[in-house]
Amino acid sequence: MKKPAILAASLAAVLAVTLPATSALADDVVSAISVSGEASVSAAPDLAQIDAGVANDAKTAKEASDANNAAMGKVLLALKGAGIAEKDYQTSRLSLQPQYGQNKSTGASPVVGFRASNRVTVKIRDVTKVAGIIDTLVAAGANDIGNISFEVTQASKLLDDAREQAVADAHRKAEIYAKATGATLGAPLSVSEGGAPVPLFKGRMAAAPLAAGAAVAPGEETLSVTVNVSWAIKAKEQ
């Protein structure tokens, strides 16, 4: 369920005011007020990313590798059959590791077999299909699924209204500080955005046995933007 947009003012504000000693300079710009404004908006994610893998054990490295290649081949075919474009899945990890046993009488740890594993990262551009894709992967033989995340791909566009709100909030605070110090607010001198907007909340996969069907909760992401604005100020005429 979507939450309403959240607009929050930044608590940080920096005031720097230096007034002239004589009224002759009353109309001159003598300093500036620098204020930070912040706004946030909540949006439903439209892209999901998951990792899926297969692991196979065998007595020899070749047997483990061959079994793993065959298993991953089935997983990739399942992704293609589910309508996932080839550009949206990519191998993320491939490994072949010896497995050690223990000889209780000698204390040695001999190699008793090998484990081959292969992981693929999958982008799902319709988040309503995440649960179905997970079930498809499991049915195809994937026995290690995790690292699911959600994101809003059009975050910058969605934040445009929040940017306007952040500037308006900063202006409101600047007016308060100017009035409180006996100054008049002038034209803005500079405007900057305080870093790239980032999600404050990541959706996640709900805990549930995969064999019984994946339970997925995309949730919402709260995107926040901060602007730093400086205004020229003038001393009020006496």
Question: 167-212: per-residue pLDDT in tens?
Answer: 999 999 999 999 998 999 999 999 999 865 544 334 444 333 344 4
Identify the pLDDT of residue 235. 82
25 and 119 inside one domain: no
Judgement on whether residues 231 and 189 belong to the same structural domain of the protein:
yes
Residue 88's domain is classified under what CATH number? 3.30.70.2970
Domain containing 73: what range?
A: 47-151
Q: What is the pTM of this model?
A: 0.64
In a domain, 6, yes or no: no
Residue at which a domain ends, from 108, 125, 151: 151
The mean of the pLDDT values for the chain is 81
Q: Are 119 and 56 members of one domain? A: yes
40: Cβ contacts below 8 Å, ≥ 6 apart: 5, 6, 7, 8, 162, 200, 222, 223, 224, 225
Domain contains 227: yes
Are 104 and 192 within one domain?
Answer: no
Band (pLDDT 50/70/90 cuts) for residue 216 is confident
In a domain, 213, yes or no: no
Picking from 208, 226, 209, 225, the residue whose alpha carbon sits closest to that of residue 217 is 208
- Kindly indicate the confidence band of residue 21, based on its pLDDT and cuts at 50, 70 and 90: very low
- The tens digit of pLDDT for each residue in 62-105 reads 999 999 999 999 999 999 999 999 999 999 999 999 999 887 77
180 and 105 both lie in a single domain: no
